[in-house]
Amino acid sequence: MGSRALMRRLLIGSLWLTSAIGLLASTVRPAAAQDPSQMIDRIVAVVGDTAILQSELQELVFRLQAQGVQIPDDPQQLDAFLKQTLDTKINEVLLVIHAEREGITISDGEVSDLVDDQIASVQRNFRSQIEFEQALASEGITSAEFRIRITEQTRSQLLAQRFLQSKMGTLQPVPVSEEEILAQFEMQKASLGPKPATVTLKQVVLTPKPSEESRRAAQEEAEQALGRARAGEDFAQLASQYSDDPGSKDNGGQLGWVSQGDLVSEFGDALFSMRVGDISDVVETTFGYHIIKLERVRGNERSARHILIAPDMTPEDTARAHRLADEVAAALISGADIDSLNRLYGDPTERASLTSFPQDRLPEGYLAAIQGASAGEIVGPFSMEVPGITGGKWIVVDLISLSPAGEWTLDDVRDSLRQQLEQDKMIQRVVQDLREKTYIDVRFEGQPTIR
């Protein structure tokens, strides 16, 4: 039980942010916790050579409460809850201890960047810096102490995550029975909420292509901007002058923090092969020609600026894409294979299919196009506006199935539950192995006043 709770705490990226907001914004704080100076701290467990204090357990309870976890009122249930929470804390400490023993490290820069983001997010919940400082003061801590607390939590979280990832990558998948999946489904069914209406489809997305003359002109302009950047001119100013990316041009080409999966492959491959301060060669994507400058690294994320030079698109280029989309739709109606057509004409940066995708998450253009259509129909072509692409893209859809809203069935979630249970068991195996070879002394006695 403790390791399952730990898994969820470690894998939910917003945990520490939620905790921080709960620490400051919770309007219900028990009287016993109001005055830290009146608390007598003591050791509730020892893991290896690390002591876990009552105050740490209390803080974990407050964080869980801030996330909406109901704290039992019944003394026996409360005692069991606190023991389970302490067990979770012991598992966290175990993972951090063994991560450090195996030489896993987290750079100060990586932690600092995450802490900056989290504190900034917390501050946005207050109308002013003064109000934020007052909220901290009411909790008996300064802004410096708050940063230290978030920093310690973040470093521990990252160490535990890295350690789990390193161990789980070496383990064989653990068998999960159908009975276990059914039991998990019954336990979670009430919390799943209503099942949304979904759609399963395949599609061919056609992007207008500029003429060769337009492409050459754009490439030459990109090479010119690259030369000026490498000569030492301010990259942000060059982006404001040259870039055709409406989302970043006015911000000096700033993309913010991105992971490789957020990017088209050519751009991502270039960015993630660079070192901080590097300026890339000209990179061609379906959007045009890019120049990239890597500014910061944070784990699997990069902060970068870019300049996009998009080839000029003429009305004839757009019309040519529309005619090709008409031909693709006609071919599909005649029985052609959509996968083959997608390989020939489709934009490789776009998804070729959607499976059981919630209809309310579809773009409006898709919703309008499939309105009134039936499973098995070919829909389109219809156009979708895309920033940076004059005339947008043309889409032809093979509508495979439509599922109405209703209640979830076991078949709907069987695969995801199996993966969840497999991961649970693998984490339990890792944690249990650590427990067997680590000194643990639990000194906790029932403490209802910890609330």
pLDDT tens readout for residues 411-441 = 888 888 998 898 888 888 888 989 988 999 9
Q: What is the mean pLDDT of residues 361-380?
A: 91
Residue 96 has which token pair? 């951090």
Burial of 159 (0-12, 13-18, 19+ CB in 10 A): buried
Round to whole Å and give the CA distance between 44 and 51: 8
Amino acid residing at 28: V
* Cβ-contact 247, 262 below 8 angstroms: no
* Cβ-contact 181, 410 below 8 angstroms: yes
Q: Which position has the higher pLDDT, 125 or 195?
A: 195
Place of tokens 């199935």: 401
Round to whole Å and give the CA distance between 77 and 71: 9
Output the pLDDT for position 6.
37
Give residue 204's pLDDT band: very low, low, confident or very high (50, 70, 90).
very high
Question: What 3-state class would DSSP assign to 283?
Answer: strand
Beta-bridge partners for 296: 303
Question: Which domains does the chain carry?
Answer: 2-189+415-450 (1.10.4030.10), 198-209+314-403 (3.10.50.40), 212-309 (3.10.50.40)
Give residue 31's pLDDT band: very low, low, confident or very high (50, 70, 90).
very low
Q: What is the mean pLDDT of residues 21-47?
A: 52
DSSP class of 437: T
CA 197-420-83 angle, 5° bins: 120
To the question of pTM greater than 0.75 for the whole model, the response is: no
Percent of the chain residues topping a pLDDT of 70: 87
Place of tokens 């009146």: 38
* Cβ-contact 75, 258 below 8 angstroms: no
Strands 389-403 and 254-259, bridge-based pairing: unpaired
Give residue 146's pLDDT band: very low, low, confident or very high (50, 70, 90).
confident
Output the pLDDT for position 67.
64
Output the pLDDT for position 439.
92
Query: pLDDT for 260-289, tens place per residue?
Result: 878 888 999 999 999 999 999 999 988 889
Q: What is the mean pLDDT of residues 93-106?
A: 90
Give residue 22's pLDDT band: very low, low, confident or very high (50, 70, 90).
very low
Mean pLDDT, all residues of the chain: 82
Strands 301-309 and 254-259, bridge-based pairing: antiparallel
